[in-house]
Amino acid sequence: MTIHKEGYTTLAWSFIIFALLNLLSFYFFSFEAPVLSVIVFVVTLGLLLFLVSFFRLPKRPLTINENAIVAPADGTVVAIEEVQADEYFPDRRIQVSIFMSPLNVHVNRNPVSGEVAYSQYHKGKYLVAWHPKSSTENERHTVVYRKGNKEVLTKQIAGALAKRIVNYLQAGQEVKQAEEMGFIKFGSRVDLLLPLDAKIKVKIGDKPLGGVTVVAEW
């Protein structure tokens, strides 16, 4: 396991703050209130370990399959439904939504190989990620992948805690399946909009792994 590049600055400052807080705690409390000093250490260490875990980048065997659409994110499948597309597509699509808790790996990956036909950032609200309107009203970044005559749309959606969406893709770019698409900091969700004839391979409650789990086939 390694640390993702998006975490370098955050973790550097976190280590500095951790060290300063515990030095001050030891200086002021270690003799007169040793229990308080221990509590400060345990709490700050817990927060530091949480941040390290949040930015982890585990090694895993990624799925490369031209007939498969792989999960763009780790998390839990919270919605599988037919919807009217609100962006790019004029027709109806199957939406698969993956909720990412703060404990999940937060790297987002390309569900398919192909050309980036569309890449657009949208400002918006910070509703909780499972809110029905978060897909259309929250801050989000939409990417459409084109593979031959087929297209897949992904949305990185900010939530109540997620305040920064990072996306590395630009329109016209050629990308490979399971490579990094971006990163969402501190929990949110990713939506997939698939063709109606896609064969869905997951169900509500499943816990896919980004770049590994096959969500659908076409």
Catalytic residues: 188
Longest dimension (CA), the chain: 72
Residue 198 — φ and ψ, nearest 5°? -65, 145
Cα separation, 100 vs 209, whole angstroms: 11
Handedness of CA 84, 89, 95, 97 (dihedral sign): negative
Place of tokens 């031959």: 148
Is residue 93 a contact partner of residue 85, using CB atoms and an 8 Å limit? yes
Residues forming beta bridges with residue 77, ordered by sequence position: 98
Q: How far apart are CA 216 and CA 70, in angstroms?
A: 7
- Cβ contact 116:181 at 8 Å: no
Closest CA to 69 of 134, 137, 147, 163: 147
